[in-house]
């Protein structure tokens, strides 16, 4: 962070690191390049809070409501002695909340566990920018944490929802490899406990692996009471078990325990279509042809045939996302409802003008 109005150059930064008197050094880049450090400000927050109350929803008003704001609430930094010379270095305090918002007001909650800190005060970091440029930052230190007079009747843990590419993940869902899961957590009355030091926080595991603790700074609030975090998906295909636990601000625990299947990783340039199902099947009036596609975009064509080989209906659409669905109203090319019975449907995928996948499946109509 630089106090001057102009951004410092790369060469100047390295020179200053040499105490400004040693001009022989190497830089991996243009030494004249100006670095976009945020400027330190003292007036982003319109009114600095006198204290922060545990559990209760807190609000913070800011200037520059047209900018994107990121608010980080942390415990105090801690100094640790290293080596025989008692060299001191600082480590960041525990994360209580991190919030992204636009407009003039942001909100957050501090979990009950924050009362167990040594000094019971917190620091606020408020950063603003315009789409990644012209960043400014304000530090507010040592704001006292006070206890809450509110008696919480909350006895349930946070809501847990999982998504991949914006598609809900439930028991038995198929996952694409190397595409992160989005874990969404929400608790309307007390927020989420992100503290990593008291056995709480957000933890997850695949199969029989040890529980992984997600650093609190990775969870981003997008409302006053909920937010999300990303979890990587393994490349190992097959059936897997997934477990996740999370705590709300008053230490109610929620868990998620489901079985998933990770699809195989295609070779470079190869397109794989898997989990091709009509839903529902059998159907009475209409159905959806659903599938997972390893490489998008791709042009998908589905042709329905009778058992005698007569063409019934041809459907085509462009797949832009990994999970893809084509609806069918159960009518033939002339708009007439088809008769009860079994049918074949042929799935073909084209990419860059070339056919890269095709297969034949069955479905049935029962009315």
pLDDT (tens digit, 0 to 9) for every residue of the chain, 367 residues total?
Answer: 455 555 778 877 777 777 656 666 677 778 888 777 888 889 999 999 998 988 889 999 999 888 999 999 998 888 887 777 667 888 888 899 999 998 999 999 999 888 765 567 899 999 999 877 778 999 999 898 888 766 667 789 999 999 988 888 889 888 888 889 999 999 888 899 998 767 888 999 999 889 999 999 999 999 888 999 999 987 788 899 999 999 999 899 999 999 998 887 666 556 778 889 999 999 999 999 998 887 788 899 999 999 988 999 999 999 888 888 999 999 999 999 999 999 999 999 988 888 888 899 999 999 8
Cβ-contact 263, 177 below 8 angstroms: yes
- 2.60.40, 1.10.10, 3.10.20, 2.20.28: which CATH number matches 51-146? 2.60.40
Q: What is the separation of C-alpha 188 from the centre of its chain, rounded to a whole number of angstroms?
A: 19
Per-residue confidence (pLDDT) for residue 320, from 0 to 100: 87
- 3.20.20.70, 3.40.50.1970, 3.30.2020.30, 2.60.40.4070: which CATH number matches 273-365? 2.60.40.4070
DSSP 322-354: SEEEEEE-SB-TTSPBPPSEEEEEEEEEEETTE
Q: Where are the domains of the chain?
A: 1-37, 51-146, 159-213+225-262, 273-365
Per-residue confidence (pLDDT) for residue 1, from 0 to 100: 46
- Other Cβ atoms less than 10 A from the Cβ of 241: the count is 13
Per-residue confidence (pLDDT) for residue 266, from 0 to 100: 62
The C-alpha torsion from 26 through 28 and 31 to 34, rounded to 10°, is: -140
Per-residue confidence (pLDDT) for residue 157, from 0 to 100: 92
Could you tell me the pTM of the whole model? 0.73
Tokens for 60, please give them: 């913070």
Q: What is the separation of C-alpha 166 from the centre of its chain, rounded to a whole number of angstroms?
A: 10
- 2.60.40.10, 2.60.40.420, 3.40.50.720, 3.30.200.20: which CATH number matches 159-213+225-262? 2.60.40.10
Cα separation of 147 and 169, whole Å?
Answer: 38
Q: Is 12 buried (19+), middle (13-18) or exposed (0-12) by CB count in 10 A?
A: middle
- Please indicate whether the domains covering 51-146 and 273-365 agree at the CATH topology level: yes
Cα separation of 158 and 113, whole Å?
Answer: 16
Cα separation of 67 and 101, whole Å?
Answer: 9
Q: Number of C-alpha atoms within 13 angstroms, CB side, residue 298?
A: 29
Cα separation of 36 and 232, whole Å?
Answer: 30
- Other Cβ atoms less than 10 A from the Cβ of 69: the count is 22
Per-residue DSSP letter, 93: P
């Amino acid at each position: 962070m630089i106090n001057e109005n102009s951004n410092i150059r790369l060469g100047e930064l390295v020179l200053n690191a040499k105490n400004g008197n040693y001009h022989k050094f190497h830089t991996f880049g243009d030494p004249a390049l100006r670095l976009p450090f945020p400027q330190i400000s003292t007036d982003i927050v319109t009114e600095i809070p006198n204290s922060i109350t545990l559990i209760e929803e807190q609000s913070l008003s800011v200037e520059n409501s047209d900018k994107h704001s990121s608010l980080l609430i942390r415990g105090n930094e801690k100094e640790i002695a290293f080596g025989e010379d008692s060299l001191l270095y600082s480590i960041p305090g525990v994360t209580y909340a991190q919030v992204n918002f636009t407009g003039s007001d942001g909100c957050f909650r501090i979990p009950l566990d924050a009362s167990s800190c040594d000094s019971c005060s917190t620091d606020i970091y408020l950063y603003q920018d315009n789409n990644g440029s012209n960043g400014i930052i304000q530090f507010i230190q040592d704001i006292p944490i006070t206890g809450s007079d509110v008696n919480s009747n909350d006895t349930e843990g946070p809501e847990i929802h999982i998504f991949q590419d914006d598609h809900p993940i439930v028991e038995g869902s198929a996952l694409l490899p190397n595409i992160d899961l989005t874990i969404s957590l929400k608790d309307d009355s007390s927020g989420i406990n992100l503290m990593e030091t008291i056995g709480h926080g957000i933890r997850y595991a695949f199969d029989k692996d040890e529980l992984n603790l997600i650093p609190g700074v990775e969870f981003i609030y997008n409302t006053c009471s909920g937010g999300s975090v990303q979890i990587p998906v393994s490349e190992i295909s097959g059936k897997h078990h997934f477990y996740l636990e999370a705590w709300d601000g008053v230490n109610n625990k929620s868990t998620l325990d489901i079985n998933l299947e990770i699809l195989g990783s295609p070779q470079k340039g190869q397109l794989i279509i898997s989990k091709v199902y009509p839903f529902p099947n059998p159907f009475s009036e209409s159905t959806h042809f659903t599938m997972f596609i390893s490489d998008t975009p791709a042009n998908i064509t589905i042709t329905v045939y009778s058992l005698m080989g007569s063409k019934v209906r041809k459907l085509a659409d462009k797949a832009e996302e990994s999970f893809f669905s084509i609806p069918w109203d159960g009518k033939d090319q002339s708009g007439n409802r088809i008769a009860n019975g079994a049918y074949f449907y042929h799935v073909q995928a084209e990419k860059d003008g070339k056919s890269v996948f095709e297969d034949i499946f069955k479905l049935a109509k029962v009315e």
